[in-house]
Structure 1
Amino acid sequence: MSSSKRIEQNLPLTIYGLKSVLIHPKDNIFEILCDSLDAANLSFEDGDILVIAESALATSENRLVLLDSVSPSADAFCYSKTTGLDAREVELILQESEHVFGGVSGVLLTLWNGILCPNAGIDNSNAPEGYVILYPKNPSKSAQQIMYSAAKRFKKRIGVIIADSRTQPLRLGCTGVAIGAAGFEAVLDKRGEKDLFGKSLHITRIAAADILASAAEAVMGECGECIPFALIRNSFAVMNPNAAGVLTIPADECMYLGCLKKQD
């Protein structure tokens, strides 16, 4: 449903958190999702957006690594000294990253799949003792597969977001961010539209997937809630089954990285 139609019909944006059983490696996450929908007495409607926690998807895709199986390199030991991170975890971060910008206590700032993120998305929270969870291998492809499965079973057109939480520069606390998406336009281009005073917009693009991921965080939580799914209804999303997923820009076009790089 378009945002204009939602506004015309005065339909409220609604977000449902969906509890699930504990997800294990090689579990069928779509079947677990369907069970969660049944337990909540819900089903999909056209235009719904499904948000899935990346750690839940990654666990189902067996992206868990036992730290004792990792042999740290010399670079890993060096970064371990400056960050305080386990050298074995640092080694995995180096293997998963496209680039490491540096680090502070507990965190390495990295580039993963064109996304700026801490520790290449690797986390030990919500992982068994002694393990860490890597990001899903291809979040947008996984989102697309889940979108197709939903279309086949429920005969509905939905969008899917694979979401993580992320800090913002110079801000305390986390918000949601999409690391994968399918079924809708992740970014809405508003260039050429008019503002309240009739002036044309020149640079405005709306990060729709990230906004919806942040909204889902309100019901999914960050700890032991066991709510890996959120269903968003009556959103402003523009549905498109052929959308390209999450969109990124080069580092030199980024307001933060580009400006800092010029000062080096």
Structure 2
Amino acid sequence: MFGLKLPEVRPGDNLAELIVGAAEDAGVGVRDRDVIVVASKIVSKARGLLYRVDRVSPSREACKVAGKAGLDPRFVELVLRESDEVVAAVPMLRLVREGLVRMDRLFSGEEAWRLLEEYPTMLVTVRNGGVWSDSGLDSSNHSPGTFSYPPRNPDEEARKLSEAIRELTGRRVAVVISDTEIFLRGSIDVARGSYGIPPVDRGFGRPDRYGKPKYGGVDCVADELAAAAALLMKQTGEGVPVVVVRGLSYDWSDEGISQYRIVDVGDLARILVATVKHTARVLGVFRALKNVLKLAFMFLVS
């Protein structure tokens, strides 16, 4: 893997040219069948998908939610605009203060606490069939008061970028667009869009070394690439928003992540109900009811 440093990306910039130029400057270049992992944020910057919070007029609903969540109504307005549905409000500051979420193991200092106090609630939203924290709005590595928001069709953005790089270099590369999300054990980069590489390995039922069909083998390849690339990208001021992955063997695929979604977010409630009913039948009603909230949270963050 090769991390590429890019200059500050601005609206209207040609991302393909920036990436190819950075690869050449680093002595890496672009080769056929490379996988280019690109942080969603620079796609948003290049496309001009930016909000200035001081230019936002919050709606009545945003003001109502903000008052109960302890958030800036203008920020909530942006979350509502960019979401299809708000499904949960996680009281992050309260959970940390009560020791239910042990964030003290992950940070120290007054700056971190001030950040939690500014954003005491995390809004979990559904957007384009995926689950997002705060609709993917991001203010890091932006000027104060500026938020970027993710493209609505990241698969299409990945395709366009792949084709633009091919026009510049003659090389056929796969593209994965990555974004950071919060999970139970911290944060991890996941794939939001892809083109050129199968996002999921269709290996369920393939024979193992002993000839038995394997109950598994459905590797989330695009997510694994995003997570691996994050080791070089990091999250703060490193300035490495692009990673070239070289030497990976894969079959070319014109399909993106949206075509490989195994579970639709709209079906999660039915899946949860079916799981609770089956748990009651297998383990007993008391245990099923006892663990229903735990199951719901696990479905939400998985």
Normalised-by-shorter TM-score class: 0.7 to 0.9
Cα offsets for 1:41-84 (capped at 9, x unmatched): 12122221001111111011001111122111222122223333
Closer, same or farther: CA 237–85 of 1 in aligned 2, 3 Å: farther
User: Given the alignment, which residue of 179, 186, 191 partners 2:199?
Assistant: 186
Tell me whether 1:139 sits opposite 2:125 in the alignment: no
- Whether the 8 Å contact between 2:127 and 2:135 is mirrored in structure 1 is yes
Aligned residue in 1 for 2:256: 244
Query: What is the SS of the residue equivalent to 2:271?
Result: helix
Query: What is the SS of the residue equivalent to 1:20?
Result: coil
Please give the alpha-carbon distance, in whole angstroms, between the structure 1 residues aligned to 2:251 and 2:267: 26
The AA in structure 2 aligned to 1:93 is V
Please give the alpha-carbon distance, in whole angstroms, between the structure 1 residues aligned to 2:270 and 2:159: 30
Please give the alpha-carbon distance, in whole angstroms, between the structure 2 residues aligned to 1:257 and 1:235: 37
What's the offset of the Cα at 1:186? 0.8
Tell me whether 1:96 sits opposite 2:108 in the alignment: no
What's the offset of the Cα at 1:193? 0.1
- Flag the structure with more relative contact order, 1 or 2, with Cα contacts below 8 A and sequence separation at least 6: 1
Aligned residue in 2 for 1:148: 163
Cα offsets for 1:98-132 (capped at 9, x unmatched): 11112123310011111111011011112211111
Tell me whether 1:222 sits opposite 2:235 in the alignment: yes
Please give the alpha-carbon distance, in whole angstroms, between the structure 2 residues aligned to 1:53 and 1:258: 32
User: Given the alignment, which residue of 16, 24, 44 partners 2:30?
Assistant: 44
- Whether the 8 Å contact between 1:85 and 1:107 is mirrored in structure 2 is no
What's the offset of the Cα at 1:260? 7.4
What's the offset of the Cα at 1:166? 1.3
**How do 1:1-264 and structure 2 match up within 5 A?**
15-104=1-90, 105-168=120-183, 170-171=184-185, 173-202=186-215, 204-240=217-253, 242-246=254-258, 247-248=260-261, 249-251=263-265, 253-254=267-268, 258-259=271-272, 263=292
- Whether the 8 Å contact between 1:110 and 1:119 is mirrored in structure 2 is yes
Please give the alpha-carbon distance, in whole angstroms, between the structure 2 residues aligned to 1:228 and 1:26: 17
The AA in structure 2 aligned to 1:147 is S
Q: Which has the larger radius of gyration?
A: 2
Relative to structure 2, which stretch is displaced further, 18-27 or 69-78? 69-78
- Whether the 8 Å contact between 2:129 and 2:266 is mirrored in structure 1 is no
The AA in structure 2 aligned to 1:244 is G
- Whether the 8 Å contact between 1:252 and 1:258 is mirrored in structure 2 is no
Number of residue pairs the alignment of both structures matches: 246
Please give the alpha-carbon distance, in whole angstroms, between the structure 2 residues aligned to 1:210 and 1:238: 17
- Whether the 8 Å contact between 2:206 and 2:217 is mirrored in structure 1 is no
Please give the alpha-carbon distance, in whole angstroms, between the structure 1 residues aligned to 2:270 and 2:76: 22
Aligned residue in 2 for 1:12: none
- Whether the 8 Å contact between 2:131 and 2:265 is mirrored in structure 1 is no
- TM-score normalised by the chain length of structure 1: 0.86
- Whether the 8 Å contact between 1:19 and 1:226 is mirrored in structure 2 is yes
Please give the alpha-carbon distance, in whole angstroms, between the structure 2 residues aligned to 1:206 and 1:65: 36
Closer, same or farther: CA 204–83 of 1 in aligned 2, 3 Å: farther
What's the offset of the Cα at 1:230? 0.4
Relative to structure 2, which stretch is displaced further, 46-55 or 201-210? 201-210
| Contiguous gaps of at least 5 residues in structure 2 | 91-119, 277-291, 294-302
**Alignment RMSD, CA only?**
2.1
The sequence identity of aligned pairs, in percent, is 29
Please give the alpha-carbon distance, in whole angstroms, between the structure 1 residues aligned to 2:33 and 2:52: 39
- Whether the 8 Å contact between 2:30 and 2:169 is mirrored in structure 1 is yes
Aligned residue in 2 for 1:7: none
Higher share of residues assigned helix: 2
Relative to structure 2, which stretch is displaced further, 76-85 or 116-125? 76-85
